[in-house]
Amino acid sequence: MLVMQRPSNRCWRTWQRNRDVFFKQWKTNGVAFFVEPVLLYIVMGMGLGRVVTEIEGSSYREFIGPGLVAGYVMQVAVMENGWGTYYRMAVRRTFDGMIVTPVSIEDVITGEILWGATRGAVTGCLVLLIIAIAGDVNSPMAILVVPACVLTGVFFAALSVTYTSQAPSPDFVAPFFSIVIYPMFFIAGVFFPISELPHGMQIFAWCLPLTWSVDIMRHLMEGDVTLTMLWGTIGLAALSLFFYVLSLGLMRRRLIK
């Protein structure tokens, strides 16, 4: 049985703490994650874009843009709530300092997830901005990519905190990337359409939450509405709630003895 208490708006205290620390050192860890997707977008567009001139009616750069937005929301959120959360929880014992104040463990974990989601979503939005400046956004509906980034961020943040709650050491964060996150990044339709995959792989790809997010982002930037976007949104929201509640219970079990 997992026991937990209702979190309060003091979760923002944890969020604020993480924000303040981030701005002390954003030059090193903030810019790095923004440079990578932008570089992929430009370089892949220049290189592969010459070979693949058209893909599902778009240029190659138009095709990978939305996928990179979703993929980097995921990577940044998972990174923040993987190593970042582990460091604050077990290495620096920052959580121990917070929970002896009116901030509860549920507030701390909620704040951690909100912070991971924020970092992911901000990265996604910055990539979106670059894509828009480059002229690869074809619809005003693209503004809805912003809430889609938030939803994607919350899901992957909650997933990552759940994983971190079970990690016995920081060494366990890296395999989560190599076994779960990177394969998802390459299969979820970021770089090529899922329809190019063999049938079995297509079904598998559609089971991945990142696929839903990429699908939502891509359709929003193209300006059309599909049923898959609705299912994807419902799926991400439901799984976010599931992993959020699970992470609260598992973290309480780990930290409150």
- What are the residues binding another protein (CB under 8 A)? 8, 10, 13, 16-17, 20-21, 24-25, 92-94, 96-104, 256-257
Residue 55 main-chain phi, psi, to 5 deg: -140, 115
3-state DSSP call for residue 117?
A: helix
The least CB distance from residue 113 to another protein, in Å, is: 18
- Residue at 122: amino acid letter: V
* Continuous segment of H or E residues that includes residue 72: helix 60-79
Residue 124 main-chain phi, psi, to 5 deg: -55, -45
The least CB distance from residue 29 to another protein, in Å, is: 11
The least CB distance from residue 179 to another protein, in Å, is: 30
Beta strands in the chain (DSSP E): none
The least CB distance from residue 156 to another protein, in Å, is: 24
The least CB distance from residue 23 to another protein, in Å, is: 10
Identify the burial level of 207 via C-beta atoms within 10 angstroms of its C-beta, where 0-12 means exposed, 13-18 middle and 19 or more buried: exposed
Q: Tell me how far apart the alpha carbons of residues 257 and 183 are, in angstroms, rounded to a whole number.
A: 36
Q: Write a three-state SS string for 187-198.
A: HCCCCCCHHHCC
Of 239 and 255, nearer to another protein (C-beta) is 255
